[in-house]
C-alpha cells in the first residue's frame, strides 16, 4: 500500500488548489468589457513606518505575502557589486533560531513556497501557502527577513556558487554582450553591473559588510508588505502588527550615485571571442524610468517595433532578409532610467549587415512613426495578455507592490487596460520624438574580431576588448 506522508498530502492539496485557481482567475479579473475588476484592498502604515497593503481575494483558500525592501544593487557601496544579491540569497539560509534545513522543511511540510529575489532597485521575499497557514508563513517571513544568521560557512558557499555562475557566463555570448552593453551605457553607475555582481566585487565582500548592509537597509520604514488572498482585513492586520510591530525603524539614506556617461554618436565595442562563428549584437541607448508619463505609449511602440515574430524588427531581419533566427527590443524601465535595447545575432560574415538593417529600421521608426493598424494590433495584444499576468495570488501581490514601490496611482492595476486603450497616435509620435535616438547608440558585438573589425570601423571608432 502506498504510504502518503502529511507533508506530501499538504503539497498535493496545495498544487490542486493552484490549478483550480488558474482556471477561475480569468473570469475573476475581467468584467463583461474585458476590463480588470477593481480589487478590494486596504493600505495601512504601521507606527514603525512599514507600509502594508492587504487585498481580499476569496475565490480559493490561498494567501501570498511579499515583502519588498529598498535594498537593491543600486544601494551597494562602491567596489562591492553583488553585495545586495548575496544578502538577499542568505536570508533563507539560516536565522538566529533556525538552520537552513529547518526553514526548508517548515515550508515543505505545509506545501508552501518561499523565494528571494534581488534586483537593481530592491530585494524581496515572497511566500505562498494555504490561508490556514497564514500565521506560519508570516512568522517565517519575519524571521528570515529580520534575523538572518549570516553564517560564515553559508556566506562562502554562496560566494563560491555565485562566482561559478558568473564565470560560466564567459561561455555565453548573450551574457557577455549584456554585461558589456550595460558597462558602456552606465559607466560607474551601479546599473552597469547585473545584480548578481562581479567576481572581483564578490571576493571583496566581508561578513561585516553583509551584516552592515542588512542593518542599514532592512528597515520597516524602508519596506512594503503586501498580503493577497482569502483574508479578513482586521485579523490580518492584527497578525501583521503582532509580528512586525516590534521591528525597529531606522534612518534611511538615499544612495549617492555617479552620473551616467553621455553618448555622442556610435560608441562601439567588439568583445573578441575567437571560437565564435556567430556574432551576438546588442545596441541601444538610455530609456525611461518606470513612472515615466510615456510608459504606456513606449510599451505599445516597442511591441510594434521589436516584440515577437510579428514585429517590424523580426519581420525585416528574419523573414525578409534571412539574417537571423531571433531579434527583439525592449524598454527596461526601472526606478531610475533603464535602457532601451535591441538584441539579435547573425553569422560573422553578415553581422555588420544585420546591424545596419537594425539601425535602418530604427531610423524609419523615428522618421515615419507607426500606423493606426499597428497601434490597434498592439492594444489588442495587451487586452488579451494582461489578465494572464494575474493568474496567481503571488502575481497579484507582485503587481500591487510594484504599484506602491514606483509611486503609481492607486487605481493603476484596475485602469491598466484603460490606459493602454487611451494611447493615441499623437502620444506615440510624442514618445518617439522625446525618447528614441538612433543616431546616438551604444553598440556591443561579441564575435571573432578579425571577421568583423574592418566592417565595424566603417561605422565609427571601435574599442576592442579581450575576454
User: pTM of the full predicted structure?
Assistant: 0.89
21: confidence class by pLDDT, cuts 50, 70, 90: very low
> Residue 161: helix, strand or coil by DSSP?
helix
Pairing of strands 62-69, 223-229: antiparallel
In the structure grid, which three cell numbers stand for residue 284, read together? 541601444
Per-residue pLDDT, 64: 97
- For residue 279, the number of C-alpha atoms closer than 13 Å in the C-beta half-sphere is 29
In the structure grid, which three cell numbers stand for residue 85, read together? 544579491
31: confidence class by pLDDT, cuts 50, 70, 90: low
Per-residue pLDDT, 15: 40
Return the closest-CA partner of residue 379 out of 425, 414, 315, 328. Answer: 425
Per-residue pLDDT, 392: 87
Assess contact for 225 and 194: CB atoms under 8 A: no
16: confidence class by pLDDT, cuts 50, 70, 90: very low
Per-residue pLDDT, 391: 83
Residue 4 has pLDDT above 70, yes or no: no
**pLDDT tens figures, 148-203:** 999 999 999 999 999 999 999 888 999 999 999 999 999 999 999 999 999 999 99
Query: Which whole number is the average pLDDT over 274-295?
Result: 96
Per-residue pLDDT, 60: 84
The rounded radius of gyration (Å) of the Cα atoms in the chain is 24
Return the closest-CA partner of residue 332 out of 365, 362, 299, 373. Answer: 299
Mind listing the domains of the chain with CATH numbers? 6-244 (3.30.830.10), 266-466 (3.30.830.10)
In the structure grid, which three cell numbers stand for residue 354, read together? 544585420
Residues of the chain by 3-state class (helix, strand, coil), percent to 5: 50, 20, 30
Assess contact for 335 and 376: CB atoms under 8 A: no
12: confidence class by pLDDT, cuts 50, 70, 90: very low
Per-residue pLDDT, 246: 96
Identify each DSSP E strand in 159-221 by its residue range. Answer: none
**pLDDT tens figures, 242-276:** 999 999 999 998 888 999 999 999 999 999 999 99
79: confidence class by pLDDT, cuts 50, 70, 90: confident
Residue 14 has pLDDT above 70, yes or no: no
**pLDDT tens figures, 307-328:** 989 999 999 999 999 999 999 9
38: confidence class by pLDDT, cuts 50, 70, 90: low
Residues with Cβ within 8 Å of 103's Cβ and at least 6 positions away in sequence, in order, are 92, 93, 94, 95, 114, 140, 144
Per-residue pLDDT, 28: 45
Per-residue pLDDT, 18: 40
* Alpha-carbon gap, residue 70 to 457, rounded angstroms: 43
DSSP string, 10-26: HHHHHHHHHHHHHHHHH
CB atoms within 10 A of CB 381: 16
**Scanning the structure block, which residue is given the C-alpha cell 486596504?**
42
Write phi, then psi, for 227 (nearest 5 degrees).
Answer: -125, 125
Residue 460 has pLDDT above 50, yes or no: yes
Return the closest-CA partner of residue 340 out of 321, 319, 365. Answer: 365
**pLDDT tens figures, 371-414:** 999 999 999 999 999 988 888 889 999 999 999 999 999 889 99
Assess contact for 396 and 53: CB atoms under 8 A: no
22: confidence class by pLDDT, cuts 50, 70, 90: very low
Residue 29 has pLDDT above 90, yes or no: no
**pLDDT tens figures, 93-131:** 999 999 999 999 999 999 999 999 999 999 999 999 999
* Alpha-carbon gap, residue 427 to 439, rounded angstroms: 22
Per-residue pLDDT, 32: 45
Residues with Cβ within 8 Å of 27's Cβ and at least 6 positions away in sequence, in order, are none
Average pLDDT, the chain: 91
Amino acid at each position: 500500500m502506498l504510504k502518503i506522508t502529511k507533508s506530501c498530502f499538504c503539497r498535493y492539496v496545495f498544487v490542486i488548489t493552484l490549478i483550480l485557481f488558474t482556471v477561475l482567475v480569468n473570469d475573476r479579473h475581467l468584467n463583461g468589457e474585458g476590463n480588470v475588476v477593481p480589487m478590494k484592498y486596504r493600505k495601512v502604515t504601521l507606527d514603525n513606518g512599514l507600509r502594508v497593503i492587504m487585498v481580499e481575494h476569496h475565490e480559493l483558500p490561498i494567501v501570498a505575502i511579499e515583502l519588498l525592501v529598498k535594498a537593491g544593487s543600486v544601494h551597494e557601496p562602491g567596489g562591492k557589486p553583488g553585495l545586495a544579491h548575496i544578502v538577499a540569497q542568505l536570508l533563507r539560509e539560516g536565522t538566529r533560531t533556525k538552520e537552513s534545513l529547518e526553514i526548508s522543511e517548515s515550508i515543505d511540510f505545509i506545501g508552501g513556497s518561499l523565494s528571494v529575489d534581488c534586483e537593481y532597485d530592491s530585494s524581496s521575499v515572497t511566500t505562498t501557502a494555504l490561508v490556514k497557514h497564514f500565521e506560519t508563513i508570516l512568522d517565517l517571513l519575519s524571521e528570515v527577513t529580520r534575523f538572518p544568521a549570516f553564517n560564515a560557512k553559508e556566506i562562502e558557499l554562496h560566494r563560491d556558487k555565485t562566482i561559478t555562475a558568473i564565470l560560466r557566463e564567459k561561455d555565453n555570448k548573450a551574457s557577455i554582450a549584456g554585461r558589456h552593453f550595460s558597462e558602456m551605457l552606465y559607466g560607474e553607475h551601479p546599473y552597469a553591473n547585473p545584480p548578481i555582481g562581479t567576481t572581483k566585487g564578490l571576493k571583496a565582500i566581508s561578513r561585516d559588510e553583509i551584516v552592515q548592509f542588512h542593518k542599514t537597509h532592512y528597515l520597516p520604514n524602508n519596506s512594503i508588505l503586501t498580503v493577497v488572498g482569502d483574508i479578513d482585513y482586521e485579523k490580518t492586520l492584527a497578525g501583521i502588527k503582532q509580528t512586525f510591530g516590534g521591528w525597529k525603524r531606522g534612518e534611511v539614506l538615499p544612495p549617492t550615485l555617479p552620473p551616467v556617461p553621455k553618448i555622442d554618436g556610435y560608441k562601439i565595442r567588439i568583445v573578441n571571442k575567437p571560437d565564435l562563428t556567430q556574432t551576438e549584437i546588442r545596441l541601444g541607448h538610455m530609456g525611461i524610468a518606470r513612472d515615466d508619463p510615456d510608459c504606456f505609449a513606449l510599451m505599445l511602440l516597442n511591441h510594434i517595433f521589436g516584440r515577437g515574430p510579428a514585429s517590424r524588427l523580426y519581420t525585416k531581419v528574419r523573414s525578409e532578409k534571412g539574417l537571423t533566427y531571433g531579434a527583439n527590443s525592449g524598454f527596461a524601465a526601472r526606478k531610475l532610467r533603464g535602457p532601451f535595447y535591441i538584441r539579435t545575432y547573425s553569422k560573422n560574415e553578415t553581422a555588420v549587415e544585420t546591424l545596419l538593417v537594425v539601425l535602418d529600421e530604427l531610423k524609419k521608426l523615428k522618421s515615419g512613426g507607426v500606423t493606426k493598424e499597428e497601434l490597434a494590433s498592439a492594444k489588442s495584444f495587451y487586452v488579451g495578455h494582461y489578465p494572464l499576468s494575474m493568474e496567481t495570488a503571488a502575481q497579484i501581490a507582485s503587481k500591487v507592490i510594484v504599484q506602491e514601490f514606483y509611486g503609481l496611482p492607486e487605481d493603476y492595476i484596475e485602469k491598466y487596460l484603460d490606459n493602454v486603450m487611451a494611447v493615441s497616435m499623437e502620444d506615440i509620435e510624442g514618445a518617439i520624438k522625446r525618447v528614441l535616438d538612433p543616431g546616438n547608440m551604444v553598440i556591443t558585438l561579441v564575435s571573432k574580431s578579425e571577421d568583423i573589425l574592418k566592417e565595424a570601423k566603417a561605422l565609427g571608432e571601435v574599442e576592442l576588448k579581450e575576454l
